[in-house]
Amino acid sequence: MAWQPAENRYDTMKYNRCGKSGLKLPAISLGLWQNFGETKSHQSKREMCRTAFDLGITHFDLANNYGPPPGGAETAFGEILRTDFAGYRDELVIASKAGYDMWPGPYGEWGSRKYLIASCDQSLKRMGLDYVDIFYSHRFDPDTPLEETMMALDQIVRQGKALYAGISSYNTKRTKEATKILKELGTPCLIHQPSYSMLNRWVEEDGLLDTLEDEGIGSIVFSPLAQGMLTGKYLNGIPQDSRAGKSASSLNETFLSEATLKNIHALNDIAQSRGQTLAQMALAWVLRGGRVTSALIGASRKEQVIDCAAAINNLDFTAEELAAIDQYAIEAN
Ligand code: NDP
């Protein structure tokens, strides 16, 4: 018998309006950057996606290059859409992006119209979709006129290949420029996807969160757990099967310096005093005050998705707790 999602899947998750748009996103979303490539079993990918949807996580974030190999995550997710999620497309918000290195030659990365439109078509094919809900420019391209990149996003939306346009990792200055162009084109920027966590606060310093609020743009923050550093897993060494334990990983052992570990221990104590895991507090913290629409997590097993989704049970902080956290929520070095 085909898999059926939990009937009570909308009972507990919180949904936040994405900027000044009509779209709501779950407070916790699932990204498929890592653990969705060919090196992982299809069963574990299925379990994570099923678990997420059962918990009301309706938003899945992908990009052309997620794998390995690049494209692998979209292919795997396409399979899940054809099987477990068949019949649920209208309950899902699916995002993809183009910007990083995807295929050889001069047309396989950055922000040209040539690349973005071809890449979007490839993503749709891999996932077996007619459209994605959100399509992003994955990074600002200093060598392509911003007008060209934004016109490509506008065209993708007008052609019905995406419902909304987004940008990722653009700084405040570039965000303001991109937003203005998109507005003039008649395709407002729905959402910005920057990194943000207790160990990475550039969006506060750069003024990006203020800008997004002023412009009525939503935000979904990636790596809110600092790739796993803001969980209990590194408190007593580096487990072999963790991201930092793997060779050639995006989370290098050097990130876990003595000073950073000291802060992580102190943050863990504060989380415990709130009756939360460190992962849950880290997610509640990026969502504090309602400025961020969604916290975009990654996971290597379904238990992590369950732990993270329960962050919504305690999203409030006292002023004392926030002040205590500020002492240790310092950029990793
Ligand atoms: P996180 O900061 O959430 O880190 C995820 C990792 O943390 C997991 O792989 C797992 O590590 C660990 N983890 C998660 N939950 C728990 C838990 N409850 N207990 C213990 N450990 C846990 O985010 P990611 O860095 O994975 O990024 C999330 C998503 O953001 C990506 O999938 C992608 O969609 C997006 N992204 C976007 C970027 C952009 O440029 N726009 C760049 C990077 C990410 P382990 O594997 O060790 O078990």
Residue 99 lies in a domain: yes
Strands 15-17 and 24-26: antiparallel
Instruction: Name which residue sits closest to atom 15 of ligand 1, judged by CA.
Output: 304
Instruction: Name which residue sits closest to atom 14 of ligand 1, judged by CA.
Output: 299
Instruction: Please give the Cα distance from 177 to 150 (Å, whole number).
Output: 10
Residue 231 lies in a domain: yes
Which of 254, 244, 327, 329 lies closest to 284, judged by CA? 329
Q: What is the pLDDT of residue 183?
A: 98
| pLDDT tens figures, 91-149 | 999 999 999 999 999 999 999 999 999 999 999 999 999 999 999 999 999 999 999 99
| pLDDT tens figures, 167-206 | 999 999 999 999 999 999 999 999 999 999 999 999 999 9
Residue 2 lies in a domain: no
CA–centroid distance, 96 to ligand 1, in Å, is: 16
Q: What is the pLDDT of residue 314?
A: 97
At position 122, the amino acid (one-letter code) is Q
Instruction: Please give the Cα distance from 93 to 132 (Å, whole number).
Output: 8
Which numbered atom of ligand 1 lies nearest the CA of 277? 18
Q: How confident is the model at residue 252 (pLDDT cuts 50, 70, 90)?
A: confident
Q: Does the pLDDT value for residue 331 go beyond 80? A: no
CATH number for 223: 3.20.20.100
**Secondary structure, 3-state, the chain:** CCCCCCCCCCCCCCEEECCCCCCEEECEEEECCCCCCCCCCHHHHHHHHHHHHHCCCCEEECCCCCCCCCCHHHHHHHHHHHCCCCCCHHHCEEEEEECCCCCCCCCCCCCCHHHHHHHHHHHHHHHCCCCEEEEEECCCCCCCCHHHHHHHHHHHHHCCCEEEEEEECCCHHHHHHHHHHHHHHCCCEEEEECECECCECHHHHCCHHHHHHHHCCEEEEECCCHHHCCCHHHCCCCCCCCCCCCCCCCCCHHHCCHHHHHHHHHHHHHHHHCCCCHHHHHHHHHHHHHCCCEEEECCCCHHHHHHHHHHHHCCCCCHHHHHHHHHHCCCCC
At position 331, the amino acid (one-letter code) is E
For residues 273-290, average pLDDT: 97
Ligand 1 environment, Cβ below 6 A: 31-35, 61, 138, 168-169, 193, 222-228, 231, 233, 242-243, 279, 296-300, 304, 307-308
Residue 10 lies in a domain: no
Instruction: Name which residue sits closest to atom 7 of ligand 1, judged by CA.
Output: 228
Which of 77, 197, 160, 171 lies closest to 126, judged by CA? 77
Which of 204, 225, 223 lies closest to 213, judged by CA? 204
How remote is the C-alpha of 257 from its chain's centroid?
25
Q: 75: domain range?
A: 16-328
Query: Between 222 and 252, whose confidence is greater?
Result: 222
Q: Does the pLDDT value for residue 325 go beyond 90? A: yes
Which numbered atom of ligand 1 lies nearest the CA of 136? 41
Residue 7 lies in a domain: no
CA–centroid distance, 287 to ligand 1, in Å, is: 16
The predicted complex's ipTM stands at 0.99
Q: What is the pLDDT of residue 330?
A: 86
Give exposure, 312-333, as e/b (b: 16+ Cβ within 10 Å).
Answer: beebebeeebeebbeebbeebe
Residue 9 lies in a domain: no
Residue 100 lies in a domain: yes
CA–centroid distance, 106 to ligand 1, in Å, is: 30
Q: How confident is the model at residue 211 (pLDDT cuts 50, 70, 90)?
A: very high
Structure tokens at 328: 């240790």
Which of 138, 32, 137 lies closest to 77, judged by CA? 32
For residues 251-276, average pLDDT: 93
How many domains does the structure of the chain reveal? 1
Q: Is the dihedral of CA 239, 40, 54, 17 positive or negative?
A: positive
Residue 51 lies in a domain: yes
Q: What is the pLDDT of residue 333?
A: 61
